[in-house]
């Protein structure tokens, strides 16, 4: 039985590229996102390219629904081998730290922290029993490197990054891998990334420059991380890797 990757937050940018990259290796693909029209369009594109893809519409800002979602994917495909988790909403932008409040953090936490934890909890029994599995978490650069005026997302993503690092160490030797791709760039072909790029024009913030990256390049990072399993975190661009990064 061929392996299955579930792409959580499947859009026109990184999600589509990850689906194609793993699909070329024979993976079947579960596409998870909230908007059915985009899901159906991406499913048709992948199917036309010879990749078996199935859409699953879900609101990933509802952590309590994650176990049932995982079960629905498993029921359809018979297994789940890899998860790439990288949803982001156009409604979720940066907030200066001086204006950050509890309500903003409460709004961000379900999608960026609580749901990925619930997804992992739903999958770990299957993966540890099989001795194989991989969770790939997509994050923005401010998860690792705080920057003035670009808070809000960073504090919540940094909590998920902390969890991912602990999980990676605890799973050592089990055959189950957890890794994160931390991106300091706007992602081309994505609805959110292109809007941000048009607005900011790759703005430099305190010396940290955010270029535009082709999502196919990021998907290649993920395939390399999945196959080698030799690092907990990959930065893109690597020149933005914080000096204090583990």
Q: What confidence tens digit (pLDDT) does each residue in 194-219 have?
A: 555 544 554 445 544 568 899 999 99
Q: What is the pLDDT of residue 203?
A: 43
- For 160-174, the pLDDT digits (tens) are 999 999 999 999 999
The pLDDT value given to residue 31: 98
Residue 150 · residue 93 · CB < 8 Å:
no
Does residue 145 belong to any structural domain of this protein? yes
**Rounded mean pLDDT, 92-105:** 92
Q: What is the mean pLDDT of residues 98-120?
A: 97
For the stretch 181-200, pLDDT in tens is 999 988 887 766 555 554 45
What percentage of the chain has pLDDT greater than the value 70?
Answer: 89
CATH number of the domain within which 85 lies: 3.40.50.720
Q: Which domain holds residue 15?
A: 4-239
Q: Quote the mean pLDDT of the chain.
A: 91
Domain-embedded: residue 245: no
In this prediction, residue 88 carries a pLDDT of 76
pLDDT number for residue 145: 94
Mean pLDDT, to the nearest integer, of 67-76?
Answer: 98
Q: What are phi and psi of 16, to 5 degrees?
A: -65, -40
Q: Where are the alpha helices (DSSP H) in the chain?
A: 14-23, 36-48, 66-77, 102-109, 115-130, 153-170, 191-200, 215-228
* Total of domains in the chain: 1
pLDDT of residue 240 exceeding 50? yes
pLDDT value at residue 189:
78
Judge whether 37 lies within some domain: yes
Q: Would you state the torsion angle of the CA atoms of residues 135, 141, 147, 153, taken in this order, to the nearest 10 degrees?
A: -50
Question: Is position 67 within any domain?
Answer: yes
Is 139 a domain residue?
yes
Please indicate, yes or no, if residue 244 is contained in any of the structural domains. Answer: no
| Domain presence at residue 246 | no
4-18 per-position pLDDT tens digit:
999 999 998 999 999
Q: What is the DSSP letter of 230?
A: -
Confidence of residue 246 (pLDDT cuts 50, 70, 90): very low
pTM of the predicted protein model: 0.91
């Amino acid at each position: 039985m061929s392996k299955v990757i579930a792409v959580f937050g499947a859009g026109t940018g990184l999600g589509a590229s990850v689906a194609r990259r793993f699909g070329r290796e024979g993976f079947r693909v579960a596409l998870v996102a909230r908007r059915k029209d985009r899901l159906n369009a991406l499913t048709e594109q992948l199917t036309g390219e010879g990749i078996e893809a199935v859409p699953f519409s879900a609101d990933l800002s509802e952590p309590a629904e994650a176990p049932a979602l995982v079960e629905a994917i498993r029921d359809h495909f018979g297994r789940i081998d890899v998860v790439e988790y990288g949803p982001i909403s156009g409604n979720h932008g940066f907030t200066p730290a001086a204006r950050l409040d509890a309500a903003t953090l409460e709004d961000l936490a379900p999608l960026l922290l609580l749901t990925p934890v619930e997804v992992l909890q739903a999958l770990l029994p299957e993966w540890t029993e099989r001795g194989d599995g991989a969770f790939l978490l997509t994050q923005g650069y401010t998860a690792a490197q705080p920057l003035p005026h670009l808070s809000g997302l960073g504090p919540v993503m940094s909590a998920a990054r902390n969890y991912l690092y602990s999980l990676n160490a605890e799973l050592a030797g089990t055959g189950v891998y957890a890794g994160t791709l931390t991106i300091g760039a706007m992602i081309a072909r994505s609805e959110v990334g292109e809007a941000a790029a048009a607005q900011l024009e790759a703005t430099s913030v305190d010396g940290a420059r955010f270029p535009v990256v082709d999502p196919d390049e990021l998907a290649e990072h993920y395939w390399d991380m999945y196959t080698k399993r030799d690092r907990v975190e990959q930065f893109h661009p690597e020149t933005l890797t914080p000096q204090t990064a583990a």
